Amino acid sequence: MTAMPIAPANADGIELCYETFGDPDGVPLLLIMGLGGQLVRWDPELVEGFVDRGFYAIRFDNRDVGLSTKPAVGSFDIGSRLLAAFGGQPVEAPYLLSDMAADAVGLLDHLDIPAAHVVGVSMGGMIAQTMAIEHPGRLLSLTSIMSTTGDLDVGQPTPEAAMLLLRPRATDRAGAVAADIEVSRIIGSPEHFDPERVRRDAELSYDRCFHPAGIGHQLLAIMASGSRSAALADVDVPTLVLHGDVDPLVDVSGGRRTAEAIPGAELVVIEGMGHDLPPVFWPTLIERITALAARADIAAA
């Protein structure tokens, strides 16, 4: 891959690797990926679909993945803390979703973007929600995809999907790629599973940066950040919630709760979509998000 720019370190010492697409004078669209996902998980063809609609799209590596900063956390037993958290004990995390939201805002600062349409997938949706709560002036609209509010009574994984979060991580390329394929088979859209596509994405991610500890840190950040439902009631930005009806990792109830919590939010439940973004659903995403941006522009006029 060609070299990508790195935003200067923010107050926490975090440098974010990012990439932009389209005309800088276009409509800014910030794309936030989910748990352990590098910016390359935003498929360039999908991103170009947004560019074709007039967006200036930005994808980036969250902290602890890809080519962005891996914070120094000292001696940190991820496994024991995850088990304690799943057992109902207080959660200790090296950082929170609030910190990751501040990272994203810092990237907008670096790019001289006062406000953007913000789209987040899974954990990225949680980060986007947190941005809307804590940095409301920086969002033109909010799109939360296959995500949830942090409430423990909704958005929970199936037992099989939950086990994927706790199992040991592979340490070699072949094992990591095989694990990614297995995970995608379990949590992805059942009628649209493409193992060769998943393999290509997994190999690209591994070769770019393999840092499994970051997944554990990010998962702890999710669990330690708690519920956003009460705070989401004060969000005053045009909002779209997209969720698959067969999502085994974040049950569709999480999307429903998100839409219920945010005043005026539009909920779209996509038939046959699991916890992934196969190409068959790209036209729906592009159309819905473009329409949301248009409504936001009208509301702001």
DSSP string, 247-294: -SSS-HHHHHHHHHHSTT-EEEEETT--SS--GGGHHHHHHHHHHHHH
Q: Do residues 254 and 265 touch, judged by C-beta distance below 8 A?
A: no
| pLDDT tens per residue across span 115-147 | 999 999 999 999 999 999 999 999 999 999 999
- Percentage of the chain lying above the pLDDT 70 cut: 99
Looking at residue 21, the DSSP 8-state letter turns out to be: E
| pLDDT tens per residue across span 165-224 | 878 888 899 999 999 999 999 999 999 999 999 999 999 999 999 999 999 999 999 999
pLDDT of residue 84: 76
The CATH code that applies to domain 18-300 is 3.40.50.1820
Q: What pairing do the DSSP bridges indicate for beta strands 55-60 and 139-145?
A: unpaired
| pLDDT tens per residue across span 32-50 | 999 999 999 999 999 999 9
The residue extents of the domains of the chain are 18-300
How far, in Å, CA of 27 to CA of 227, rounded? 31
pLDDT of residue 168: 83
- Percentage of the chain lying above the pLDDT 90 cut: 86
Residue that is written with structure tokens 């923010």 in the block: 10
pLDDT of residue 102: 98
Q: Do residues 130 and 102 touch, judged by C-beta distance below 8 A?
A: no
For 152-156, the CB contacts below 8 A with 24+ separation are 152/227, 154/251, 154/253, 154/254, 154/256, 154/257, 155/250, 155/251, 155/253, 155/254, 155/255, 155/257, 156/251, 156/253, 156/254
pLDDT of residue 1: 53
User: For residues 263 and 166, which has the higher predicted lDDT (pLDDT)?
Assistant: 263
How far, in Å, CA of 185 to CA of 70, rounded? 29
pLDDT of residue 301: 67
> Phi first, then psi: what are they for 69, rounded to 5°?
-60, 135
pLDDT of residue 80: 78
Residues 6+ apart with CB under 8 A from 15: 6, 7, 8, 9, 68, 69
Is 90 exceeded by the pLDDT of residue 265?
Answer: yes
How far, in Å, CA of 289 to CA of 116, rounded? 13
Q: Do residues 92 and 220 touch, judged by C-beta distance below 8 A?
A: yes
| pLDDT tens per residue across span 152-162 | 999 999 999 98
